[in-house]
Structure 1
Amino acid sequence: MKKQEKPLDKRFKIAHREALIGVALVIINFIIWYGFAYGLGSAKVEDYTYILGLPAWFFYSCIAGTLFMIILVILALKFLFKEVPFEEKEGGAE
């Protein structure tokens, strides 16, 4: 006889989905940072352009990229994440 598997709790499915969203946000952050830091930063120092006294590659990768990611995380939390109760359902196993 095969043992019947219990269906996965809905909370774990939600947590798994939200973990994948978190990983996607990290990958987006790395791509933005890497793209600006090594894309604009690979020029000769004499050819750098400056924004607010900072090299453009640093400003876009570290300052603007961070602000963009903060906004992206806020939007993800507001629209993609769900409130999940931590308590067991009523009438569950004791």
Structure 2
Amino acid sequence: MVPKLTEKERNLQIKKEALISIGLYVAFFLWWYFAGYGLAEASKEYIYIMGLPLWFFLSCVVGYVLFSIAVIVVVKLFFKDFSLDEVADEDKGEEDEG
């Protein structure tokens, strides 16, 4: 059963989930950027892993796997399943008064 939250609780949860999502995206972009550009310019001779240059392997392959796992963990720990349509009883009384 999906829990009913008050309007204030729903808004706080939505803001929290949005900030976490943006934070994960920024972290993924920074990982991709610094692994890709930082390692590519740091060495003139490439190291290859599975036929791919190290900078590409770390930025695109490892980064994708790492942040896919991070998203799964974050969603299980911080995100809540709740109805956007139904409002808890506390708010229904306030809506009738207004």
What TM-score bracket applies, with the shorter chain setting the length? Answer: 0.7 to 0.9
Q: How many residue pairs were aligned?
A: 85
Distance 1:90 1:27, change over 3 A: closer
User: Which has the larger share of helix?
Assistant: 2
Distance 1:41 1:72, change over 3 A: same
Distance 1:59 1:88, change over 3 A: same
For each residue in 1:44-94, what CA deviation from the matched residue of structure 2 results, as whole angstroms up to 9, or x when unmatched? Answer: 2xx000000000000000000000000000000110111121223266247
TM-score (normalizing by structure 2): 0.79
Structure 2 unaligned blocks of 5 or more? 1-6
Q: How many percent of aligned residue pairs carry the same amino acid?
A: 38
Superposed CA RMSD: 1.6
For each residue in 1:6-60, what CA deviation from the matched residue of structure 2 results, as whole angstroms up to 9, or x when unmatched? Answer: xx6211110000000001001110111011101111132xx00000000000000
Paired position in structure 2 for 1:75: 73
Runs of 4+ in 1 over 2 A off after TM superposition: 87-94
Structure 1 unaligned blocks of 5 or more? 1-7
TM-score (normalizing by structure 1): 0.82
